[in-house]
Amino acid sequence: MRGSRLVRALVALAFAATACTTDGEDGFGITQQTPRGRPVRSDTLVIGLVGTMTGDDAWRGEDAFEGADLAVHRLNVAQDEEEPPFELVTRDDGGSGTQALRQIEELVALPRTVGIIYAGTPEVLPRAEDALARRGVPAMLVYGDLYGARRLTPHTFQMAPSLVWEARRIAAYLLDDRRYETVGVVASKTFTGSVAVDSMQTALEQAGDERGHVTRYDASLTDLDRAIERLRGARIEAIVVEGPPRVLSLVTATLREMDADYISTARARLASARN
């Protein structure tokens, strides 16, 4: 029964939309509103959420909480009256990997915890494998690619498609459909940035093209414009960007300031278009 409930919980969370819920009770006396760091009832099955809720990367935790909150609400509505309800318990890691690991271990140690949702820096999660394995609790990564980094463990899973697969589709589009000859990659100096670079370089090579030109930027984003300028100097035709949402806006603004507007060419066309 425990395994069945857990599968249902993780499936519901995986497909839940990122949408706010309204305040009120879900039919089991558990209100759906702001994040709570501790269980409010003694008879619930706990789903722990550890994520970055404050700071520059707060979008990770905020989006994950809204989706998980909605999913747990829907899950409880579908529960039979005799079954214990699920309860979402949320912790803010503040962007600290050390704090995130400690919070995961604390939530796993609760006897009623049946699963962990993780929305922090991805490289932290595999380090929690021992704690997860001791209690047989799975953890689901919301943002990041442990598969592409070959860091998935028996008790860790990820919701997002691997950057390996994404890179293959991007490379095929740029080289086959658009017929670009030079591709640049702009990536953060992070774990995910490294996975993105490796995935994109491999995909370009497998598609029969030379490895793309790569530039990296740091967390402050102060060197992002210089990274773009280096690609411009290399006469790059297409840029693949890795990073949080705000980075794409900054890259677009930087290109606009450089007057690097998109101009179609005879070669940059849809190869699949009908004549």
Higher pLDDT, 223 or 271: 223
Q: Span 93-119, mean pLDDT?
A: 95
Of the candidates 58, 124, 130, which has an alpha carbon nearest to the alpha carbon of residue 90? 58
Q: Span 71-81, mean pLDDT?
A: 85
pTM: 0.80
DSSP string, 9-70: HHHHHHH--S-PPPSSB-SSS-B-SS--SS-S-SSPEEEEEEE--SSTTHHHHHHHHHHHHH
Does the pLDDT value for residue 259 go beyond 90? no
pLDDT in tens, 209-255: 776 789 999 988 888 888 888 888 888 888 999 988 889 888 888 88
Percent of residues, the chain, with pLDDT higher than 70: 82
pLDDT (0 to 100) of residue 186: 94
pLDDT (0 to 100) of residue 14: 53
pLDDT (0 to 100) of residue 191: 94
